[in-house]
Chain A
Amino acid sequence: MNAGHIEPVFRVGLILGAILFLFVILWMLKKKKLTVRYSIVWFFAAFALVLFAVFPYIVLVLRDLLQVELVSNLVFLMVLAFVLFMLLSISCIVSVFSEKLKRLSQESALLEQRVRELERQLDGTGRESAPRGARGGGA
Chain B
Amino acid sequence: MKILVIIPCYNEEENIERVVENLETAVRGQELPGEVDYLIVNDCSTDASAKICRERGFRFVSQPVNLGIGGTVQTGYLYAVCNGYDIAVQMDGDGQHDPRYLANVVWPVARGELDMCIGSRFITREGFQTSFMRRLGINILSILLKILCGARVLDTTSGFRATNRQLTAYFAQVYAQDYPEPEAIISAVLSGFRVGEAPVVMAERMGGTSSISAFKSVFYMVKVSLSLIVFRLTNIRKKGARA
Q: Known contacts A106-B71, A109-B41; is A131 also within 8 Å of B64 by CB?
A: no
Chain B, interface size category, equals: 35 or more
Q: Are B61 and A132 in touch, CB under 8 angstroms?
A: no
Q: Are A134 and B27 in touch, CB under 8 angstroms?
A: yes
Chain A, interface size category, equals: 20 to 34
Among residues 112 to 139 in chain A, which have CB atoms less than 8 Å away from a CB atom of chain B? 112-113, 129-138
**Alpha-carbon separation in the docked complex, A134 to B27 (Å):** 8
In the complex, whether A30 has a CB less than 8 A from a CB of chain B is no
Q: Are B71 and A136 in touch, CB under 8 angstroms?
A: no
**Alpha-carbon separation in the docked complex, A68 to B5 (Å):** 65
Binary CB contact string for chain B from 64 to 81 against chain A (1 if under 8 A, 0 otherwise): 110100010011001100
Q: Which residues of A contact B20 (CB under 8 A)?
A: 134
Q: Shortest CB–CB separation between residue A117 and chain B, in angstroms? A: 9
Q: Are B71 and A112 in touch, CB under 8 angstroms?
A: no
Q: Are B57 and A138 in touch, CB under 8 angstroms?
A: no
Interface residues of A (CB under 8 A from B): 98, 101-102, 105-110, 112-113, 129-138
Interface residues of B (CB under 8 A from A): 1, 3, 5, 20, 23-24, 27-28, 30-38, 41, 55, 57-65, 67, 71, 74-75, 78-79, 82, 177
Give 26 A-B contacts (CB < 8 Å), ordered by A residue: A101-B65, A105-B63, A105-B71, A106-B63, A106-B67, A106-B74, A109-B41, A113-B60, A113-B62, A129-B57, A131-B57, A132-B57, A132-B58, A132-B59, A134-B20, A134-B24, A134-B38, A135-B37, A136-B27, A136-B36, A137-B3, A137-B27, A137-B30, A137-B32, A137-B34, A138-B33
